[in-house]
Amino acid sequence: QVQLQESGPGLVKPSQTLSLTCTVSGGSITTNYAYWTWIRQPPGKGLEWMGAIAYSGNTYYNSSLKSRTSISRDTSKNQFTLQLSSVTPEDTAVYYCASRKYYSNTANRDDYDYWGQGTQVTVSS
């Protein structure tokens, strides 16, 4: 059974870079056709697909966040990482990592095979 676990700071100051790591167990991030995704949910709003990194290492980003977002991976640790720069209070959200087979930019929970429990990130001075 694949399990995903997000980790990172719960509080980030405005203008700084948010950095979160998703640690994967029970499966490899290089498994063919697997896509490893970051999704967030601001308070009172719906889920937003942020981007994904493929089993091949290729990356895909939400066009509205692309200029501030970077997703990378460490295959030796079976982890992938989200970096979101120049954060503002509007980036306050619960951040999730999730995985599915084959690429999609869906934010629908039912379209993913596995989800992390989510981690709250607050942007505040």
DSSP 8-state code for residue 73: E
57 backbone dihedrals φ, ψ, rounded to 5° = 100, -10
**pLDDT at res. 10:** 95
pLDDT digits (tens, 9 = 90+) for 65-76: 999 999 999 999
pLDDT digits (tens, 9 = 90+) for 83-95: 999 999 999 999 9
**Other beta carbons within 10 Å of 25:** 10
**Percent residues over pLDDT 70 in the chain:** 100
122, 9 contact by CB (below 8 A):
no
pLDDT band at 60, cuts 50/70/90? very high
